[in-house]
Amino acid sequence: MATLYHSIVSLHFKHDLQLKTNPEFNTVLERVSQIKGWDYTCFGNVLGHREKAMVVIGWQDDAGTQARTKGFWSLLGTQLAAEPTILNLPISLHWSTLISPYLTELTFLQGPLELVRPEQWIESVDVLCQRTMPSSDHEPPNALVGCQTGIARGDSQGAEATIVLLWRWTSPEARKAFLDPLQDSPGGPSQYADLVGKPLQAAAEARAHLDSVDVKFERWRPKQNIRMKDAYVCLVQ
C-alpha cells in the first residue's frame, strides 16, 4: 500500500559523503524512525553531485510529526554547506517505487500560487501520462514509467507553494529523446514540451524557482531491524 504523506529533505554537504557509513547521518535517520507515525526512509546522492543528497521519509498520517524532524539535521553540524531544505507534503508513494531500477528524477517548482498553479500541473502531468504511457500493465514502458505529483504549501497564508514532480524514466537516453521537441514521442509529437516543458520554462523565467535532480535511492533500515534479521539468519544456520 502506498504511503500518502512524506517529507522530502535536500542536503548539501561541504564534501563528497558516503551516506551509508556516516555515523551522524545514520543517527539522524535512527531518531527520525523513532517518531510515532514513521513508515520508511529512502536516501541517495544526487547523480553527478555526490556532495548533495536527498532523503524521502514516509509517514502513516499527517499529524504534524513531519515538522519534528527539523531539529535533527543539526546533528550533521559542520558537514553541511547550507541549511537543509525540508518539504512536507501529501504525495502517494511506496518505497519500492523509489528504489526501482529506473531513473528517478525530482523536479521542484517553487513560487507564488499565481505562477506555479498547482492544479494545472497535476492535470497536465495526468494528461501526459495518459497519452504517452502504455494502457496495459503488460506492455513495457516506452520512456516514461510514471510520475507522481505533490504540493507543499510554503507559508501560513498559503500564498506560495512548491510543486514536486517525481518522474521515473527507463534510461537517461530514453528521457533525452522523450524531451526532445523535434522527435515524435508516444502519443504524438512534442507532448512533454507542450504540456510540461514550456509551462515550466515560462514559470522559471518569471519569479518561480525551478530545480531538477536525478537520484539513485536506496532504502534505509533501523539498526533494530538489521539485528533481528541477523539473529534470524543465525537461527536458520
Confidence label for 237 from pLDDT (cuts 50, 70 and 90)? very low
Query: Model pTM?
Result: 0.87
Which residue's C-alpha cell is 553541511?
80
- Check residue 234 and give its pLDDT: 30
Question: Which three cell numbers mark 22?
Answer: 556516516
Residue 104 CA to residue 168 CA, distance in Å, equals: 5
Residue 167 CA to residue 96 CA, distance in Å, equals: 14
| pLDDT surpassing 50 at residue 232 | no
| pLDDT surpassing 70 at residue 146 | yes
Residue 10 CA to residue 83 CA, distance in Å, equals: 9
| pLDDT surpassing 90 at residue 2 | no
Instruction: DSSP letter for 140, please.
Output: P
- Check residue 107 and give its pLDDT: 95
Give start and end residues of each alpha helix (H) in the chain: 23-33, 95-98, 113-116, 118-132, 172-179, 191-192, 198-205, 223-236
- Check residue 28 and give its pLDDT: 95
Tell me whether strands 85-93 and 3-12 are parallel, antiparallel or unpaired: antiparallel
- Check residue 63 and give its pLDDT: 63
In this predicted model, what pLDDT tens digit does every residue of 11-31 receive, in sequence order? 999 998 889 899 999 999 999
Exposure string (b/e) for 153-165, b if CB count within 10 Å is 16 or more? Answer: bbeeeeebbbbbb
In this predicted model, what pLDDT tens digit does every residue of 38-96 receive, in sequence order? 999 999 999 999 999 999 999 988 766 666 777 889 899 899 999 999 999 988 899 99
Check if the beta carbon of residue 81 is closer than 8 Å to that of residue 14. yes
Instruction: DSSP letter for 229, please.
Output: H
